A = this chain, B = another copy of it.
Amino acid sequence: MPESRPRIIPEATVARLAVYLRVLAGLADGGRSHVSSGELASAAGVNPAGLRKDLSYLGPCGVRGVGYSVAGLRDRLTEALGGERSRACVLVGIGRLGSALADYSGFASRGFQFVGLLDTDPATVGHQVGGLTVRPVAELEGLVAETQATIGVITTPADVAQTVCDRLVAAGVRSILNFAPVALSVPAGVDVRKVDLSVELQVLAFLDQQRDGAPPVLAPVRATAQGGVR
């Protein structure tokens, strides 16, 4: 069984696979044993054909005429997305947002465990957040080396995000989730994903304005925004 990696999986597909996995976990808790692509796609908010295409990157994993085994597909997706093993994450910048993330149970339940919380503010250092003690950023390098953390989450103000990022990379972190509103530059071999909250709101504001200002037919209106048809 050496193969099973014939082609590479597009990043957009990987993101959707994570969504399917979550839906499947819910179905498994509900006692369901099988699902069709149509039902799964409806729950995930995507097109059934696209869902089947996504799953086909993993090789055949359904039964024609029946559908997909909930437990079987869940296990295969879990393995494809990185396995069960817990991944150590370091969080830098324990403000309001950082505290919320440190407490967010949705991470721990998916195998992501925060092993260190760092901040520069002496008033914050020492506090307990989500079961961990906030430590000074000076301990960043030692903490990463000690815990073998592979993921860094940056929730600092924009002006120090690049510096923090550089230190994380130098310490060995190769995956970074950035909430600071700046474009981080990193060497090749390091992945960055950016979440920009105010940009999301601004896009909504634009769509709102466009709707009001241009009543005549504009873009071909999506029949359904996100959810399933019928």
Minimal Cβ-Cβ distance residue in B for A102: B96
For residues 1 through 50 of chain A, which have their beta carbon under 8 Å from a beta carbon of chain B?
3, 5, 8-9, 11-12, 14-15, 18-19, 21-22, 43-46
Interface residues on A, range: 35 or more
The residues of B that contact A170 with a CB separation of less than 8 Å are: none
Query: What CA separation (Å) do A197 and B9 show in the bound complex?
Result: 20
Of the candidates B9, B110, B183, B203, which one forms a contact with A193 in the assembled complex, judged by CB atoms under 8 Å apart?
A: B203
Query: What CA separation (Å) do A50 and B225 show in the bound complex?
Result: 27
Q: Is A201 an interface residue (CB 8 A)?
A: yes
Of the candidates B3, B174, B199, which one forms a contact with A15 in the assembled complex, judged by CB atoms under 8 Å apart?
A: B199
Of the candidates B21, B185, B188, B193, which one forms a contact with A221 in the assembled complex, judged by CB atoms under 8 Å apart?
A: B188
Contact between B177 and A201 (Cβ–Cβ < 8 Å)? yes
Query: What CA separation (Å) do A42 and B80 show in the bound complex?
Result: 34
CB distance from A203 to the nearest CB of B (A): 5
Contact between A196 and B229 (Cβ–Cβ < 8 Å)? yes
Contact between A227 and B43 (Cβ–Cβ < 8 Å)? no
Secondary structure dominating the interface of A: mixed
The residues of B that contact A175 with a CB separation of less than 8 Å are: 204-205, 207-208
Minimal Cβ-Cβ distance residue in B for A205: B82
Of the candidates B18, B101, B194, B230, which one forms a contact with A12 in the assembled complex, judged by CB atoms under 8 Å apart?
A: B230
Q: Is A139 an interface residue (CB 8 A)?
A: no
Query: What CA separation (Å) do A179 and B179 show in the bound complex?
Result: 14
CB distance from A119 to the nearest CB of B (A): 15
CB distance from A23 to the nearest CB of B (A): 9
Q: Is A59 an interface residue (CB 8 A)?
A: no
Contact between A18 and B203 (Cβ–Cβ < 8 Å)? yes
CB distance from A228 to the nearest CB of B (A): 7
The residues of B that contact A11 with a CB separation of less than 8 Å are: 203, 207, 227
Interchain residue pairs A-B with the least CB separation, the first 6:
A185-B227, A45-B183, A96-B100, A82-B205, A175-B204, A18-B202
